[in-house]
Amino acid sequence: MLVATFVFHFITKWQAAKDFSLIRFRIKTWWGMFGIFCVATLFNTTISLCAIMVLSYFALKEYFSMMKTRKSDRRLFLWAYLTIPVQFYWIFIGWYGMFIVFIPIYVFLFLPLPRIIGKGTIGFLRSVSVTQWGLMLMVFGLSHLAFFTVATPEYGANLVLYLIILTQINDVVQYLVSLYFGKRKVAPTANPYITWEGLAAGIIVTMLTAYFIYRYVTPFDPTFAILTGLLISVAGYFGSLTISVLKRDLLIGNRERMEKLEGRYLHRIDSLAYTAPVFFHVVRYFFDFM
């Protein structure tokens, strides 16, 4: 983070005519996330759970702020927020079975009830489905970060650190290479920033980073480390792409609001919402310590 901040400061002085506001927002957000994940990895399990729970809350709140809501949606949002402490309670007591099915099954089945009772059918499908999407990405996806330390107290914090480093490096490389060298966009209507050149560079750099750091923070062998680098890079791209599409769909016609959200936390944890569950379940499948 110090190196990135120093390089950014140097570039803004060197190329003063260019607009670096988006990168400036990203660096500020990374510093905020740095503080949250320091709390999440350096202290005991309870503090770690609380830190990631707070991150999930703010990500979900920011997600809901993009929706065009009616008064009838407020009760639905309240119930959605109440699922956050319940989801993290399952993690706290180590109940993996309930943790893994609570939001995808039970919340999915019963979340529509507050919206149905006395609120009619207008806009029902959109409000319920968008709310469930938010819970799956911002709460269920991110909550896997907290389960690492419960599933494996010995390696949990290091695995979270490993995941975050690779995810953020992948995001940075994809963005910067696309910005300066990219010519062919992967999905211009969904994410105009990422090009094929940036995607390829992100995959290569993430795999190399995984190879160089795995021996210090994980019990993996070199082959598995490289494969996790590839997996995290690809999953991170799909996470970024998916949330970009969601934002553009929810904010059609509101360009000013979309620009304000570019540097917020939702824009920075979009990749983690995908990489955290994918990495967690792959490691859990191949290693007994999970």
Of the three residues 151, 171, 192, the one that is the final residue of a domain is 151
Distance between CA atoms of residues 216 and 212, nearest Å: 9
Same domain (yes/no): 175, 210: yes
Same domain (yes/no): 159, 127: no
Evaluated on CA atoms 43, 49, 50, 52, the torsion sign reads positive
Domain extent, residue 95, equals: 55-151
Same domain (yes/no): 167, 117: no
Amino acid residing at 288: D
* Segment 166-177, tens digit of pLDDT: 998 898 888 888
Same domain (yes/no): 114, 240: no
Same domain (yes/no): 192, 271: yes
Task: Give the CA distances from residue 25 to residues 70, 129, 259, 265, in Å, rounded to whole numbers and listed in that order.
Answer: 31, 30, 11, 10
Same domain (yes/no): 146, 157: no
> Is residue 27 situated within a structural domain?
no
Same domain (yes/no): 133, 174: no
Side-chain-facing half-sphere of 123: CA atoms under 13 Å? 13
For residue 152, the 8-state DSSP code is -
Number of separate domains in the chain: 2
Distance between CA atoms of residues 148 and 157, nearest Å: 7
Same domain (yes/no): 107, 169: no
Q: Is the pLDDT of residue 259 over 50?
A: yes
What pTM, to 2 d.p., does this model score? 0.85
Which of 2-16, 30-44, 236-250 comes out lowest in average pLDDT? 30-44
> Is residue 132 situated within a structural domain?
yes
> Is residue 105 situated within a structural domain?
yes
CA angle 169, 30, 203 (to 5 degrees): 15
Average pLDDT over the chain, rounded to an integer: 84
* Segment 45-101, tens digit of pLDDT: 788 888 889 889 988 988 888 777 777 677 888 899 999 999 999 999 999 999 999
Of the candidates 272, 249, 281, which has an alpha carbon nearest to the alpha carbon of residue 36?
272
> Is residue 6 situated within a structural domain?
no
Distance between CA atoms of residues 191 and 241, nearest Å: 6
> What local confidence, expressed as pLDDT, does residue 179 receive?
79
The three-state secondary structure class of 19 is coil
Same domain (yes/no): 281, 165: yes
